[in-house]
Structure 1
Amino acid sequence: MCQLLGLNSSVPAGLGPFFDVFAERGGRTDEHKDGWGIAFHSGKHCRLFTDHRAAIDSPLATRIRNRALRARNILAHIRKATQGRIAIENVHPFARQLWGQTWCFAHNGDLKAFTAAPGPFVPQGDTDSEAAFCHLLSHLARRFPDGQPGATALRAALAEVAATIAAHGTFNFILSNGEMLFAHCSTHLHYRLDHGRAMIATQPVDAREGWVAFAPGELKAFGSGLLHP
């Protein structure tokens, strides 16, 4: 399956050497070679970079490493395809507009017999991941037609719809609206808090202490580099 790497910070920050370790898993130290992508997301500003090639073979990945881009939220993904063609439209993260914000999403897992319910958000590719993202956003749009709710209500709604999607298989994901980062675990996901910066990863990207494993079925919210109560 795929792997996820996320960052939520109180100030714009970069992944630094963590991106190097993560990118190496995209075909050299691990088998995730069916595309990769990264979103740099702060407030309403989101820069999304995707490539259907393996991260270790991607000139774009080299440029990203050299540019040291920063953001308050970063979502990165390396793909090992389980559903959908190896094509640029199937590369994570995916992005859509909701409530005047850009929402970015990346998924690790495999959802069997899952189809997005009809709604305002429609997949452009043919992955279970993008279908789940569209279903999730359509649920939020219907649930809160007057606009974005408070953080507590939003987290509860996300947890509710994530549980229904996870009934179809493995649904580890990271999701951001540019302010907060939400992470849901079905099987493997870890986080670490470090001086106003939260890191989220499928598997830890360094050997430092402090990585905490999510419990299966758990959804956590991070804001300003802290775990939201």
Structure 2
Amino acid sequence: MCQLLGMNCNTPTDIVFSFEGFRRRGGLTDHHADGFGIAFFEGAGARVFLDVEPSAQSQVADFIRDYPLKSENVIAHIRKATQGGVSLANTHPFQREMWGRYWVFAHNGNLDGFAPPEGRHYRPVGCTDSERAFCFLLDTLRQRFDHEPPFVELYRLVSETVAWIRSHGTFNFILSNGKFMLAHCSTSLYYIVRQAPFTTAHLVDEDVSVDFADLTTSNDRVAVIATQPLTDNEVWTPFEANELKIFKYGAPLKTAPGIGKVAPVPPSGA
């Protein structure tokens, strides 16, 4: 299985500390060695970096470490190929435009026999189940709404569509349009919110610590989401199975009871 990393903040923040531990899971502390990618939102724009080399040895990953980009929403992915060969076209995160904004998506899991109908607006470039799921999700939203709808309506349709997709297998994912972040857990996903009073954190994958009190202000708040906890001296909160969480301004938002954990109902045309 692959590894996911997401960061959602209330102010532009670099992800160097978390990424340095995370990248080591790509061929060093874990066996996920089939490429990696990372996306940084900057306003309405997005910088996406992809590499087919293992992230632990990648020069692209070195660049990310040495050039600390700041963003309010970041998504990273380390790949262990299950469907589709090792290539840039099959490397996460994937990016598409919808309603005048970029949407970025990364998936951990495997969807057996997932063959949704061909989309009207979005089609895969590569040959992974992950990109098929992303395109199907966006196409379902775009067919229902010509413009970005009220958030409650958007979230409800995402929940219904995700429930059907996950009936085909494991569907852990992180999705963002730069304004908020959605994270869904099938089997394994954790998050932590760092805010004042900040403390020292120590990485699981490398003997490195950082005192966030030296790097932040009292107003900063950062949510980090990962397949497995990145630090060993902080309390990470596990997602429930089949839970869909929204993060905005560095914290999870409350949702209406039942939304995000609905039964699988095939969308129209599926």
| TM > 0.5 fold call | yes
The correspondence of residues 39-118 of structure 1 with structure 2, limited to 5 A, is: 39-118=39-118
SS in 1 for 2:8: strand
Cα distance, 1:210 vs structure 2 = 2.8
Match of 1:35 in 2: 35
Match of 1:197 in 2: 222
Instruction: Output the CA distance in 2 between the equivalents of 1:160 and 1:198.
Output: 25
**Preserved CA contact (<8 Å) 1:43 1:177:** no
**Preserved CA contact (<8 Å) 1:191 1:211:** yes
Report the TM-score, using the length of structure 1 for normalisation. 0.97
Match of 1:225 in 2: 250
**Preserved CA contact (<8 Å) 1:90 1:127:** yes
Of all paired residues, the percent bearing the same amino acid is: 47
Cα distance, 1:57 vs structure 2 = 2.0
Match of 2:263 in 1: none
Q: Which amino acid aligns with 1:164?
A: W
Match of 2:131 in 1: 130
Cα distance, 1:85 vs structure 2 = 0.6
Cα distance, 1:64 vs structure 2 = 0.7
Match of 2:236 in 1: 211
1:192-224 Cα shifts (integer Å, max 9, x gaps): 111221111000111133311001110000011
Structure 2 unaligned spans of 5+: 196-220, 255-270
1:131-184 Cα shifts (integer Å, max 9, x gaps): 000000001101212x11122222211111111000000000000000100000
Report the TM-score, using the length of structure 2 for normalisation. 0.83
Q: Which amino acid aligns with 1:112?
A: D
Q: Which amino acid aligns with 1:134?
A: C
- In the alignment of these two chains, the number of paired residues is 228
Please give the root-mean-square deviation of Cα atoms over the aligned residues, in Å.
Answer: 0.9
1:101-146 Cα shifts (integer Å, max 9, x gaps): 000000000000002322210000000000000000001101212x
Cα distance, 1:43 vs structure 2 = 3.1
Match of 1:166 in 2: 166
Cα distance, 1:21 vs structure 2 = 0.7
Structure 1 unaligned spans of 5+: none
Q: Which amino acid aligns with 2:73?
A: N
Instruction: Output the CA distance in 1 between the equivalents of 2:228 and 2:240.
Output: 14
Instruction: Output the CA distance in 1 between the equivalents of 2:178 and 2:110.
Output: 26
Between structure 1 and structure 2, the one with the greater Rg is 2
SS in 1 for 2:168: coil
Structure 1, 157-166 or 91-100: larger mean CA deviation: 157-166
Instruction: Output the CA distance in 2 between the equivalents of 1:213 and 1:222.
Output: 15
Instruction: Output the CA distance in 2 between the equivalents of 1:137 and 1:29.
Output: 34
Structure 1 residue 19 corresponds to structure 2 residue 44? no
Q: Which amino acid aligns with 2:135?
A: C
Cα distance, 1:12 vs structure 2 = 0.6
1:71-125 Cα shifts (integer Å, max 9, x gaps): 1100000000010010011000000000000000000000000023222100000
Which ranges of 4 or more aligned residues in structure 1 deviate by more than 3 Å? none
Q: Which amino acid aligns with 1:33?
A: A
